[in-house]
Amino acid sequence: MTEAYGAAFAVRWMETVAAAVDREAGRLTELDAAIGDADHGANLRRGFAAVADALAKEPPATPGGVLVAAGRQLLSTVGGASGPLYGTLLRRAGKALGDGEAVTRAELADALAAGVAAVGQLGGAVPGDKTMLDALVPAVAALPESFAAARAAAGEGALATVPLRARKGRASYLGERSVGHQDPGATSSALLFAALAEAAEEAAEGVAG
């Protein structure tokens, strides 16, 4: 039987992201202090808290609707680069999912791939530039295999940014001094997929129970 995931699952994913970002905000800010503006953690904490609040008050009826609403909330709440980038990722993915009441993991992977492509176009970046794409691209590629594989690929992608020289964003201004630091955007992208896997595990336990 093919597993399908509805709006409640998508809401739970966003709630889990909000909790993870709140928990890791200090670390994200430390990473950003080394090669950026030192605001990544605070910005994402504010943004995903607003997402969770909005979804709790008025949850959309479809997974696509949840992601579109989350993306719009991030675009209107988060400053800096992370708001437009994460907002674009989720909104474009939600639009790609359409109006279906439930989606499969394969459909979610395809939708997130569309979102990641939009992020690449918006930021003008490619994998290897030491950006969030270094975690997002391998995660989306691994998602058809399993949620756990996507989580692992995102985490490995984030770690792999440490030796890279930044070629996009504020970190690129540092040149060689950006080498040796983990990219904060890739790190928060890994949190996004870790939360997705956690929500999927909770859903599976619920079915089993």
Q: Do the beta carbons of residue 199 and residue 16 sit within 8 Å? A: yes
Residue with tokens 């503006």: 37
Mean pLDDT of 65-85: 93
Please list, in sequence order, all residues whose beta carbon lies within 8 angstroms of the beta carbon of residue 75, skipping any fewer than 6 positions away. Answer: 83, 84, 87, 88, 91
Please report the pLDDT score of residue 66 as a whole number: 98
Residue 35 has pLDDT above 80, yes or no: no
How far apart CA 117 and CA 122 sit, in angstroms, is: 9
What is the mean pLDDT of the segment spanning 25-53?
93
Give yes or no for a contact between 181 and 164, defined as CB atoms under 8 angstroms apart: no
Q: What's residue 1's pLDDT?
A: 46
| Mean pLDDT value across residues 133-150 | 98
| DSSP per position, 94-122 | HHHHTT-SEE-HHHHHHHHHHHHHHHHHH
Quote the DSSP letter at residue 36.
S
- pLDDT of the residue at 34: 86
Contact 11, 59 (CB under 8 A): yes
Question: What's 183's DSSP letter?
Answer: -
Least confident range of 22-36, 105-119, 190-204:
22-36
Residue 168, pLDDT > 60, answer yes
- pLDDT of 209 over the 50 cut: no
Read off the pLDDT of each residue in 137-141 and give the average, rounded to a whole number: 98
Q: What is the mean pLDDT of the chain?
A: 93
Average pLDDT, integer, range 22-35 = 92
* 82-86, 114-118, 159-163, 166-170, range with the lowest pLDDT: 166-170
Does the structure show a pLDDT above 70 at 193?
A: yes
pLDDT of residue 22: 97
Candidates 79, 189, 85; CA nearest to 139 is: 189
**Closest to 105 measured CA to CA, from 156, 145, 137:** 145
Residue 8 structure tokens: 């409640």
Whether the pLDDT of residue 201 is over 70: the answer is: yes
